[in-house]
A and B are shown apart, each in its own frame.
Chain A
Amino acid sequence: MLLIPCPWCGPRDEIEFRYGGEAHVAYPADPPAVDDLELARYIFYRGNPKGRFQERWVHQQGCRRWFNLVRDTVTHEIAGSYLPGQGPPA
């Protein structure tokens, strides 16, 4: 059970959160202009690295706010959380 640092509420148990997949997959700026491959990349393609991963979480059972997290997919160590629209911590 991860201890996840919600940027608004502080460290809370994983069961309070919902996972939102890879972070920084932006909605296309001009959807009609993207070709099918770009569209597919936006909808279906996600990174699956072994190691550090920037991912989205929402504090579903708490403040219901979305945020980003940097987590190691092997050790589950969490490097930190940050708000949507911001860059990951160094």
Chain B
Amino acid sequence: MMRRLADGGLIDRSQELSVRVDGVRVPAHPGDTLASAALAAGGWLQTTSTVHGRPRGIMSAGAEEASALVQVEAPWSEPLVAAPAVEIPPQGLAASTLPGLRGRLTGDDEARHDRRHAHCDVLVVGAGQAGTAAAREAAGKGARVIVADRDFLPVDVDGDQVTVLIRTTAVGSYDDNFVVLVQRLSPERRRVWHVRAGEVVIATGAYERPLVFPGNDRPGVMLAGALRTYRERFAVAPERPAVFTNNDAGLDVARTLDAIVIDLRRGRTVVGTEAGPGGLAAVLVAPIDAPADAERVECDVLGVSGGFDPVLDLHRHRRGPVRWDDRRACFVPDGALTGQRVVGSAAGEGLPEVAAGWLLPGDEAAAYVDLHRDVTVADLRRAVDAGLSSIEHVKRYTLAGTGADQGRTAKTNASAISAELLGRRAGGVGTTTTRPPVEPVPFAVLAGRARGDRFDPVRTTPIHDWHVEQGAVFEDVGQWKRPWFYPRDGEDMDAAVLRECAAAREAVAMMDASTLGKIDVQGADAAEFLNRLYTNAMDTLKVGRGRYFLMCRADGMVFDDGVALRLAEDRFLTTTTTGNAAAVLDWMEEWLQTEWPQLQVRLTSVTDHWATFPVVGPRSRDVIGAVFGDLDVSNEAFPFMTWRDTSLDAVPVRVARVSFSGELAFEVNVNAWYAPALWERLLDAGRPYGITPYGTETMHVLRAEKGYPIIGQDTDGTVTPHDLGMAWAVSKKKPDFIGKRSFSRAENQNPLRKQLVGLLPVDRLTRLPEGSQIVEFCTDDALPPPPVPMLGHVTSSYRSAELGRTFALALVKAGQSRIGETLHVPVDGTLVPVEVTGSVLVDPEGARRDG
């Protein structure tokens, strides 16, 4: 049984800290870890193993721990934490041991984790002897140095430009010396450091690995070096220790602890262990060539040392090369990466020579290679017998090295024993890939403050507060919050949308379309530039007029649409789909900069500068006329697809006759600062006509009734203008524009391409779910056996106040030629018959747009 010594160690015996494990009080002092406190109290944080349900306890004194993984419950909550790496904080600690080494996520991590970016000349990871020396040397030369160490012991490096980070783990190493550190600021809070370093010094030391013999998993068997650490640092020691080793380092520990020595190099091995009170009762020791001749050696704790493995995670994240070192029986760095050095025992320096021989005699089914995953030598033999000869395959087959401890103490044993089973030399099956993170990092820590409202910027229009006051229901469009509909006294969405649609078609309605993407295109070659990008002609557009346009990618597929207003000979204001504004600007910049740098054009996003309010419906002319007294709103003076500048109280306002509903409509644009005032003016003027604010759902219904596609909803990057029935928007006169050449590709001429059509459910009531598949009409009202040929899918689907029925838009193979046919749409196990129609269902003659 381990017990606390009366003096010594780096603990403060004058203070008691409150620790509870599984509800039981465990005495602890500042300087203790959860593991050292548990051992000092005579316990092992004992629990049962994952698969075999065998008793397990603390086997290490560090982050390599494979068995004592606990659930920390207070003052923070985290599953599967290596108990030897848990510092007892001043406010104490509560933890529990979960059977089967399972973890449990509890509640939400509400701590304010944060993130910091830092640059330095030299980043030293690990503040042992080698790391401290490297940091001091760099600091002495005046370099900006960051030293990171995962432990909580003070680090003795000083200097004006030195930042020492303790309780800090380097969890990942990335290109160009970019290293991610996770620092514990307090028990609850952590900080993620993004460090870009001129040089990275990897001084992460080495982990001792166990020997693999029968019964090596029992509580009381631990790494020999851990015994020394507990004795010297925590003043916790066994009464009657033994040490089983194949190297001088183990022997050294045995001398320090005055332990019984079982030296593999002298032909003696352990063939079994016996449990006793508070640890072991005895181990069974036998000559390696006569394992049956075992003698019982009494001891309470057995330290084991099978050699050391340099900790090369950071080196390996960047695919730094390693080679097998036969003398020390471990993988060591085979050269360093650009701008990096591996030093100290991480480079293999000072590691002891290890005696050969990995497979020890005895029951292979009781000899554990991976204590966390319960993988035994018998499992490895089964894998090898099954024909697996790569360590990556053996790992996947046996799960050796895949546990929460990442197999730190298991990987080399698994590799070397597999090699020996295969009759190869140690190291002959290689080692497994190492990927970040080095240790588990909670998502909450990575997210830092970028969660909830701060996960992504939220964009609101200048009228947002009004929408909120009116009880609008919002929908997210990209980063924008847009009013979806405005329910009145208990209305549901359907009722509200039918009311809003009716107002737009019969009287007047208004929406906040300020989110519309807007790009100011200026320069002598502005018209030429847009001519090359858009499918239709822009050079022929007269100042004072606007034109609907389509834009394709080079493959001829529609990418965006909008309206371009020609403000001057050398200036256009173009719009984009709300969610596509950034992509469109990027696309335009790309062509301008990389293909046509000779064009004199400048592009500026003005989305947020202009608020945009479409005033829609047969009475919209009355409203606009009432608000802007100096504007002649007659159809003759202000025809469709023209714009006029006017002003209100000396504030400039631009009004455009643009319609996304097919109704008479005026799009009012004003500097965003004046938007709320203008919005109120328009509402006041519209009140006599019952002006109704409407949201995006009504906008969608109105445009769908007219067959106006939404790029990105009714299209998916495989749809040409011709597929949309918009050949009228494709210039035949222009010699070229982006996408034109692709229209004549054979596939683009395929008559079976999907085309945009309307669908009318025959029962007039079913609203087809968007995304529904469309199949041929099934005469016996049942789907044929699969695979059922699909004709297309529903892209938009609504209930129409104007039509008094439901309707949909859909992409259907050879859709234009199927108009008049009846097809089937499977919905929830039934087949809904639908009639194929043209896509324009309301006002196909376009009689309403002029009022």
| B554 in contact with A42 (CB, 8 Å) | yes
- Closest Cβ of chain B to A83, distance in Å, is 9
Chain A's closest residue to B178 (CB) is A1
Residue of B174, B196, B594 touching A66 (CB-CB under 8 A): B594
| A1 in contact with B176 (CB, 8 Å) | yes
Chain A's closest residue to B177 (CB) is A3
| B176 in contact with A2 (CB, 8 Å) | yes
B597 contacts which chain A residues (CB < 8 A)? Answer: 84-85
A-contact 0/1 string along B811-831, CB 8 Å cutoff = 000000000000000000000
Known contacts A20-B590, A85-B597; A43 and B338 CB within 8 A of each other: no
Residue of B194, B196, B590, B740 touching A3 (CB-CB under 8 A): B196
Asked whether any CB of chain A lies closer than 8 Å to the CB of B772, the reply is no
**Bound-complex Cα distance A14 to B555 (A):** 29
| B594 in contact with A3 (CB, 8 Å) | no
| A28 in contact with B741 (CB, 8 Å) | yes
- Closest Cβ of chain B to A1, distance in Å, is 4
- Closest Cβ of chain B to A16, distance in Å, is 12
| B590 in contact with A66 (CB, 8 Å) | yes
Asked whether any CB of chain A lies closer than 8 Å to the CB of B469, the reply is no
B736 contacts which chain A residues (CB < 8 A)? Answer: 31-32
A18 contacts which chain B residues (CB < 8 A)? Answer: 586
Chain A's closest residue to B180 (CB) is A1
B-contact 0/1 string along A30-71, CB 8 Å cutoff = 011010100100111000000000001010100011100000
Residue of B175, B176, B740 touching A31 (CB-CB under 8 A): B740
Residue of A2, A3, A36 touching B746 (CB-CB under 8 A): A36
B-contact 0/1 string along A1-17, CB 8 Å cutoff = 11100000000011000
In which size bucket is the chain B interface? 20 to 34
A32 contacts which chain B residues (CB < 8 A)? Answer: 735-736, 740-741
B residues 572-618 touching A (CB-CB < 8 Å): 586, 589-590, 593-595, 597
**Bound-complex Cα distance A77 to B175 (A):** 9
Asked whether any CB of chain A lies closer than 8 Å to the CB of B731, the reply is no
A27 contacts which chain B residues (CB < 8 A)? Answer: 554, 595
A-contact 0/1 string along B736-768, CB 8 Å cutoff = 100011100110000000000000000000000
Known contacts A1-B176, A60-B586, A66-B590; A39 and B196 CB within 8 A of each other: no
**Bound-complex Cα distance A39 to B736 (A):** 14
| A1 in contact with B746 (CB, 8 Å) | no
| B554 in contact with A1 (CB, 8 Å) | no
B586 contacts which chain A residues (CB < 8 A)? Answer: 18, 58, 60
**Bound-complex Cα distance A2 to B595 (A):** 26
Q: Interface centre among A18, A42, A43, A58, by most B CB within 10 Å?
A: A43
- Closest Cβ of chain A to B757, distance in Å, is 28
- Closest Cβ of chain B to A65, distance in Å, is 7
Known contacts A3-B196, A60-B586; A36 and B176 CB within 8 A of each other: no
**Bound-complex Cα distance A89 to B39 (A):** 63
| B593 in contact with A65 (CB, 8 Å) | yes
A42 contacts which chain B residues (CB < 8 A)? Answer: 554
| A66 in contact with B593 (CB, 8 Å) | yes
**Bound-complex Cα distance A28 to B175 (A):** 36
**Bound-complex Cα distance A81 to B316 (A):** 28
**Bound-complex Cα distance A42 to B556 (A):** 13
B338 contacts which chain A residues (CB < 8 A)? Answer: 77
**Bound-complex Cα distance A3 to B178 (A):** 9
| A2 in contact with B741 (CB, 8 Å) | no
A56 contacts which chain B residues (CB < 8 A)? Answer: 594
A binding-site residues for B, Cβ under 8 Å: 1-3, 13-14, 18, 20, 26-28, 31-32, 34, 36, 39, 42-44, 56, 58, 60, 64-66, 76-77, 84-85
Q: List 6 A-B pairs, Cβ < 8 Å.
A: A3-B176, A3-B178, A3-B196, A27-B554, A56-B594, A58-B586
Inter-chain pairs besides A20-B590, A60-B586, 10 sampled, C-beta below 8 Å: A1-B175, A3-B196, A13-B178, A26-B595, A27-B554, A31-B740, A44-B555, A56-B594, A66-B594, A84-B594
